[in-house]
Amino acid sequence: MSLKKFLAVIIFMMLFTNCAYCDFGGYSGGSERGGSGGREGGGNEHSNSEGYSNRGSRHDNERTRNNLRANSNNAPAILNERDKKTDWGGVIFIGCAVGVFGFLIARSNKRKRKNNFMDTSENLKTISEYCALNPDFDPQKIITWANALYIKLQETWTAGNIEPVRDNLTPEFFNIMHKRLNALISKNQTDYTDDITILQTNLKGWQRFHNNDYLILQIRTRIKSYILDNQTGRLISGSKTAEKFMFYEWTLTRKIADILDKNNDWVICNIQVPQKI
């Protein structure tokens, strides 16, 4: 269960508990005292006179009815006094929980806006527009760089060490890839990519969002991909001989303020899950 769902359940339970709470202490106390009066009347079992016993019973019964009437009249006042009391601890807890819950939702939405800066390709602008805004931008240079980086990514992934490409990835995306690679290493497995052939690379478009420029780059390749157990050499998945035609879509980014800085390089902030074509 996610943290947001957990907090939502806690808040609901607290609200439900406060709404369902009802203090019947005033009423039950009256009943106990009425019962006590009845027990006092029961003491007439020890009388020697039937008439005295009847008179005592009538007297005790009258006193019991008076006690019940007085207690029933006092019960609403007792309840009203208790209703006026506020459980400030519960109020503060609910307020804090609602505040944290709202903060998490706001932060989650901000991350979604940041990561999903473009929901559809209709939001993309043409590369020619970007070239007009940035005369030093060279699309072919980006494509050549991406082709070389694609091969380097595959080689470092197979080697089990992606540190050499750290500077080509955003810190967030590097951490994601590093965790995936460590998952393979922990299983004592290696993911191999052989016979790499890049068939086509093109820039699909660009977008400006939150002081950053983003490029969408598409790569079509032909590879052989398989995973082996390092200890036994057993084939876990894939094929050493069958060729696969793959399609990747990279998202590259750099800050707008650094556009005029020729030493500022594009970095990968996302790679869509490869698809076989």
Which residues are CB-neighbours of 144 under 8 A, at least 6 positions away?
none
Q: How far apart are alpha carbons 2 and 25 in whole angstroms?
A: 40
Class of domain 121-276: alpha beta
pLDDT tens for the chain, 277 residues long, are: 555 555 566 665 655 555 444 443 333 344 344 444 444 444 444 444 444 444 455 555 566 566 555 555 555 554 455 555 556 666 676 776 667 666 666 565 555 544 455 444 558 999 999 999 888 889 999 999 999 999 999 999 999 999 999 999 999 999 999 999 999 999 999 999 999 999 999 999 999 988 899 999 999 999 999 999 999 999 999 999 999 999 999 999 998 866 555 556 899 999 986 555 5
List beta partners, residue 206: 125, 215
Cβ 222 vs Cβ 245: under 8 Å: yes
Instruction: Please give the structure tokens belonging to residue 105.
Output: 């939702």
Domain range summary for the chain, segments of one domain joined by + = 3-112, 121-276
For the entire predicted model, the pTM comes to 0.58
Cβ 72 vs Cβ 28: under 8 Å: no
